[in-house]
Structure 1
């Protein structure tokens, strides 16, 4: 029924906004900038909850064999790169700037598909991708609060996200469901982030973190892990009930809402040229969604 689809979309939007706001609070307000530990905690909780829900029969998950898991490992590596770099960049950049750069992941997907297929694409889709690219490239030149490290990690994040999107489309395994793919992602993340925790200095830094024994810090970290898991479930629910174009529309709406609300909770210092880059990037997203809708009509 139509109202159920709207309810799922609204639920997705609420969880999406709450997840990013909670992560932003931990990374920027509390300044817990140790992504191997923060993301390792989230993915560990996510993996445990998937197993628990599977054992209780709340989620359908089959036994994952080595032969089915190995082909998915490249996607897991891209997933780890995405969440690690995303955590680094979100700690330094405001949410509008972060989303604007994240939108450029569609440019990466476009280029990979262009090189792979070599087919001529509609002018509107090409225009939308160019607009996304120009917005992202112009943003560092316009941003008065330019943070070199934040932008560098944002480029890594959008590259991994764009490649992961293509990998999801072209790796359609009949042996792995979306939940099982995510479970492999979680396990790979926990392993790789645990290995990287000491060389990056995150363990020693976390031991000196001033809010380490703070009740607020513990509550927010638990909330971030639970929200990340809920976002996974509601995203899968959304994709199963709506077309890709409608799903992207809900993601777009969620991003716009988050950007509109973030000045109420966080300090957002953005000048007019940067704001124009943000607006043009999201205009490019609208054009991209419309071009794909026309292409499937």
Structure 2
């Protein structure tokens, strides 16, 4: 069992790091800044693979009632906000900066538990959330590549992450499994992002993207979709195998593995000249 947990944890860390690197390459190096299309593609691939896994018996998705689906709808809206705002922020911020701001969502969760649910919070957790808040507050003054637009979308992203986790924890036990929740998120995201691609201008602007027909762009997009799906599966598996404290430790380990990345390490974008 211990070996199995380690393998699942290492798979989670590998998918976590690889997905961020791949997404950052597409967003910042290739400059594919069409979030409705990029995130719509990722959720489409994830939804299709999860649906196939369900039909083959590899994933368990039970028929859910309309009330369960409607009750989960606000969380799916927040999920779209998470991936859309996260894509906009990651395209303009370095990965360590983005992850630091992403972690501030824990401050929102801790504050909600303390102020609204009146739950007891340990002094250690309060101190850790305050350190996260202080670290994020110092970032704009020490970021040599400061981009106000990137920080704006990062703030929206972290608020959506915090609100999503609050809604997720407030759900009735056994109402929807993690896989069922993600399946609904995928389906809702594909529809909403497809509809939003036209009013945002992404649908027609993408025709001017210089690397639209390059194999490196196609390969990176396929990799991002597959990695996102495997990251979701490994995350669910890890949460079911280990205690909450161990799960948090694996997340910390995965994030620490990327905090030393630098923008100068990225490969160059392909040339458009023939």
Match of 1:244 in 2: 244
Match of 1:277 in 2: none
Provide the rounded CA distance (Å) in 2 between the counterparts of 1:122 and 1:41. 41
Provide the rounded CA distance (Å) in 1 between the counterparts of 2:69 and 2:119. 31
Contact preservation (8 Å) 1:95, 1:259: yes
Corresponding residue SS for 2:258: helix
Provide the rounded CA distance (Å) in 2 between the counterparts of 1:173 and 1:117. 17
Q: Which has the higher helix share?
A: 1
Q: 1:118, CA displacement in angstroms?
A: 3.0
Match of 1:14 in 2: 14
The Cα offsets for residues 67-117 of structure 1, whole Å up to 9 and x where unpaired, read as 221100111111110111000000000011111111101011112222212
The TM-score with structure 2 as length reference comes to: 0.93
Corresponding residue SS for 1:198: coil
1:158 aligns with 2:158: yes
Q: 1:167, CA displacement in angstroms?
A: 1.5
Provide the rounded CA distance (Å) in 2 between the counterparts of 1:120 and 1:250. 24
Q: 1:261, CA displacement in angstroms?
A: 4.6
Match of 1:49 in 2: 49
Mean CA deviation greater in 27-36 or 123-132: 123-132
Provide the rounded CA distance (Å) in 2 between the counterparts of 1:190 and 1:173. 27
The Cα offsets for residues 24-78 of structure 1, whole Å up to 9 and x where unpaired, read as 0000010001110000001011111111111111111112332221100111111
Provide the rounded CA distance (Å) in 1 between the counterparts of 2:68 and 2:168. 15
Unaligned runs of 5+ residues in structure 1 are 268-297
Match of 2:271 in 1: none
Contact preservation (8 Å) 2:94, 2:263: no
Provide the rounded CA distance (Å) in 1 between the counterparts of 2:94 and 2:253. 18
Contact preservation (8 Å) 1:112, 1:163: no
Provide the rounded CA distance (Å) in 1 between the counterparts of 2:266 and 2:175. 43
Match of 1:217 in 2: 217
Runs of 4+ in 1 over 4 A off after TM superposition: 261-264
Mean CA deviation greater in 254-263 or 11-20: 254-263
Provide the rounded CA distance (Å) in 1 between the counterparts of 2:260 and 2:240. 28
Assess, with a 3 A threshold, how the Cα gap between structure 1 residues 37 and 102 changes in structure 2: closer, same or farther: same
The Cα offsets for residues 204-240 of structure 1, whole Å up to 9 and x where unpaired, read as 2211000111111111101100110000111011001
Number of residue-to-residue matches in the alignment = 267
Alignment of 1:227-238 (within 5 A): 227-238=227-238
Q: RMSD value over aligned CA atoms?
A: 1.5
Provide the rounded CA distance (Å) in 2 between the counterparts of 1:92 and 1:264. 14
The TM-score with structure 1 as length reference comes to: 0.86
Assess, with a 3 A threshold, how the Cα gap between structure 1 residues 249 and 263 changes in structure 2: closer, same or farther: farther
Match of 1:189 in 2: 189
The Cα offsets for residues 128-176 of structure 1, whole Å up to 9 and x where unpaired, read as 1111111111211221211000000000000010111121112134232
Q: 1:183, CA displacement in angstroms?
A: 0.7
Provide the rounded CA distance (Å) in 2 between the counterparts of 1:196 and 1:112. 31
Q: 1:262, CA displacement in angstroms?
A: 5.0
